Amino acid sequence: MSAAERPGRPTVVVTTAGAPQTPGIIQDLQRQGYRVVATDIDPTAPGLYLADRCHLVPPGASDAYLPGIRGICLREGAAALVPLVDEELAAVSRLADDGIAVLLPRPEFVATCLDKYALMRRLADAGLPVPRTRTAAEWTGPPAEPLVVKPRSGRGGRGVVRLGSAHRLGALLAETGRPADELIAQEEIAGTEFTVSVVAWRDGVVQAVVPKEVVLKRGVTKYAVTRRHERVSEVCRAVQQELRADGPFNVQLALDSDGEPRIFEINPRFSSTAPLTRAAGVDEVGGLLRQATAGGPHLAGDWREGVVMVRRWSDEFIEEADFTGAGLSPAAESPAESTVGAGS
């Protein structure tokens, strides 16, 4: 009997096997005794080959995604789902009706965060510090002011454009061809950027806040270092107090010229820097998983400052049968599923 088939190993489905953080999350959950099933739309996603079992799924925004992921969870006997990409979040929250613990904030918080304009308005109404934000159609700021323009919905820096001056906004809109109400314009906050893990669950208690100073960012954060900053932590705790995420979320903010943190985005899920949070001493994924499925204790919230994440490639070695079985044989059709990884 393989390790993946031994009784008593609870099954967790982890999505987005091609994301930078997913391989580390898969391996860490396996070390904690979980049977991990990975999913992705792409058979080349590296995390597929580290999991105990893998499945290809439709795109997260498609009508076929929810029935597909629900079927996988039910067939695999999943106790929990860890979703890691924005397109899936609205759909997978409904799996809680099937008795599956979905490690996300409450659906209302997720919906607000996925509309970046609605989020900025909600935060401003709650008195939380944000950059001046309008839809691109409504922007009336000073022409010489630098702007950040991005889609109202999107992730990983996709479609984000920095304009050295606002007078170029009209030309940008003409180039993209997108309706101006589908883009938002924000004043650029040029100070130090932080990405902050906030750990909470359904009782609403903030168990940990871990600020990470961004050193290098290319779409997602590549290098970062854990850094204590009381005002950053205060602002992030206030998000939970005012908006009641009651689940894991990640705050992206930057310091303005007065040193005040200004929130420019919130990811209503675990961040790509979750492995750094864990390395610093707060296992947000494993800790919330135990709370959601087994009534586990709160996390202590203690963490080390000065831990640096250097994101890099890492080679993995598997048997050829596992490789071709997951769909990479030149003659193979894309499969619905495959058993791969150390437990096969």
pLDDT tens, the chain, 344 aa long: 333 444 579 999 999 999 999 999 999 999 999 999 999 999 989 999 999 999 999 999 999 999 999 999 999 999 999 999 999 999 999 999 999 999 999 999 999 999 999 999 999 999 999 999 999 989 887 778 899 999 998 776 678 899 988 888 888 888 888 888 899 999 999 999 999 999 999 999 999 999 999 999 887 899 999 999 999 999 999 999 999 999 999 999 999 999 999 999 999 999 999 999 999 999 999 999 999 999 999 999 999 999 999 998 888 888 887 776 655 543 333 344 454 443 33
Taking residue 91's Cβ as centre, other Cβ atoms within 10 Å add up to 19
Task: Tell me how far apart the alpha carbons of residues 17 and 40 are, in angstroms, rounded to a whole number.
Answer: 5
Task: Tell me how far apart the alpha carbons of residues 19 and 40 are, in angstroms, rounded to a whole number.
Answer: 9
What is the tally of structural domains in the chain? 3
| Enclosing domain of residue 61 | 3-102+313-338
> Does residue 120 sit within a domain?
no
Report residue 29 as tokens: 């959950």
Shared domain for 90 and 196, answered yes or no, is no
Shared domain for 75 and 142, answered yes or no, is no
Q: Cα torsion at 69, 74, 77, 83 (round to 10°)?
A: 20
pTM: 0.90
Shared domain for 211 and 149, answered yes or no, is no
> Does residue 302 sit within a domain?
yes
Shared domain for 318 and 294, answered yes or no, is no
